Amino acid sequence: MAIGRLLFGISACAIAALTSATAQTDDLEWVGSWGTGQQLVEERNELPEGFTDDVIIHQTVHPTLAGERIRVRFSNEFGDGPLEIESVTVADASASGSIEIEDGSAVTLTFSGASGVTIPQGAAWYSDPVDFKVTPFDDIALTMTVGDAPENQTGHPGSRTTTWFASKDDEITESSGNQPRWYYIAGIDVLAPADHASVAVIGDSITDGYGSTTNGNDRWTDFLARRLQANPATQNVSVLNMGFGGNCVTRNCLGPNVPSRIERDVIAHPNIGHVIIFEGINDLGGLARNAPEDKEAHDELVAQIIAVYEQLIARAHAHDIKAYGGTITPFKGGDYYTFNENTENARQQINDWIRNSGKFDGVLDFDAALRDPEDPQRLKAEYDNDHLHPSVAGYEAIANAVPLELFEAD
């Protein structure tokens, strides 16, 4: 009887432990810790000839949310044929953009139990979940071997992070080929408590970090992520940078137009709680370049951009995502887009709508944060890189203009 009672006690304890573990797992949900927008990589930014098939690609990313179990999202969404991934390891990187990894940290990913996967044309694919500890801002290395790859490459050209590549029969060394692009990697999710969420940022080259430090992780979204993690009330919020250099709101410029990518770059990611819309300068700049004197065209563009904003807000709200609008920053004095009064008036009209329409759940007044008080049509000198893009100090000022209360739990 004593033995029976002992066995029953052990069984009861085992069942209780199993039930507790299951309950803990059930309380956890996938949340993005890192992510980047996907596009058809332009020819000038592709992996070079000889390194498209049968290649090792070593890439590093900068997570923004802690977790101890991950899955990795890969993308062939712009490929014109299947993408064969033969193997992938994930490890702690010694530094952003480095080929070195921490000893003993490498873990092999699987796909439905297999070591590799062939991703169909136009698809994205998750790895199997794997135990791997993620610490915010400690860089992660992803080393993948690609067999056959489509001619059209999917990736993110504006990574500001060094990627290394070599023939799959070789090893990655300091003499291997490299360039600041990401290929085929779209996100890293962590299992986290149910009150955790991500903020996705839809933006152009200012969000993508043009002029920031390669391997420095000093885009404005990086500064924002560090502010969120430093604030106890917002440590449950990660930041996913979905900026594209040259991106436009109303048409295809570089990367897909904004309304066409809201599903893929925001809604498709798990547990998005917030989206920041900070775009429009390239639409305005294109018109400034092509039709500076056409006021009617400027008025029409203002209406089109506002209409897109309204669509984005509606689509976010349909998924219980709060939408915040970022005002468009000044660009007077730059060579890339010629300043004129019609374009400036259009910028002011759009910013007035963002501030005063009441349509957004919150307003991020980046224009007010960066403009020169003596000449509000220009960027303030210490925040100015090229009269269009901010300096690193300007990127930090953008992040500091975001009220953290927007991300605190209700």
Residue 2 — pLDDT band, cuts 50, 70, 90?
very low
pTM here is 0.92
**The pLDDT value given to residue 409:** 76
**The pLDDT value given to residue 99:** 98
- pLDDT > 70: what percent of the chain? 93
- Please check whether residue 146 is in contact with residue 84, taking contact to mean a CB–CB distance below 8 angstroms: yes
**The pLDDT value given to residue 297:** 96
- Please check whether residue 327 is in contact with residue 363, taking contact to mean a CB–CB distance below 8 angstroms: yes
**The pLDDT value given to residue 7:** 34
**The pLDDT value given to residue 121:** 98
CA-based nearest residue to 250, from 292, 284, 199: 284
Rounded-to-integer distance, Cα 57 and Cα 96, Å = 15
Give pLDDT tens digits for 383-393. 999 999 999 99
Token pair, residue 274, equals 């917030």
* Number of neighbouring beta carbons within 10 Å of residue 365: 18
Residue 14 — pLDDT band, cuts 50, 70, 90?
very low
**The pLDDT value given to residue 378:** 97
Residue 6 — pLDDT band, cuts 50, 70, 90?
very low
Residue 15 — pLDDT band, cuts 50, 70, 90?
very low
The answer, yes or no, to whether residue 5 has pLDDT greater than 60, is: no
The answer, yes or no, to whether residue 216 has pLDDT greater than 60, is: yes
Token pair, residue 316, equals 């976010």
Give pLDDT tens digits for 371-385. 999 999 999 999 999
Bridge partners, residue 114, by sequence: 111
**Mean local confidence (pLDDT), 321-337:** 96
Give pLDDT tens digits for 68-103. 999 999 999 999 999 999 999 999 999 999 999 999
The answer, yes or no, to whether residue 339 has pLDDT greater than 80, is: yes
Helical packing angle, 392-400 and 220-230, nearest 10° = 40
Average pLDDT, the chain: 93
Q: Is beta strand 107-108 parallel, antiparallel or unpaired with respect to 371-372? A: unpaired
Residue 325 — pLDDT band, cuts 50, 70, 90?
very high
**Mean local confidence (pLDDT), 292-317:** 97
**Mean local confidence (pLDDT), 341-349:** 97
* Number of neighbouring beta carbons within 10 Å of residue 307: 13
More confident residue, 25 or 128: 128
Give pLDDT tens digits for 38-56. 999 999 999 999 999 999 9
Residue whose entry in the numeric block shows the structure tokens 């991950």: 70
Rounded-to-integer distance, Cα 307 and Cα 103, Å = 52
Least trusted range by pLDDT, from 2-11, 54-63, 103-112? 2-11
The side-by-side arrangement of strands in the sheet containing 272-278 is 237-243, 197-203, 272-278, 322-326, 362-364
The answer, yes or no, to whether residue 109 has pLDDT greater than 90, is: yes
**The pLDDT value given to residue 410:** 56
Residue 27 — pLDDT band, cuts 50, 70, 90?
confident
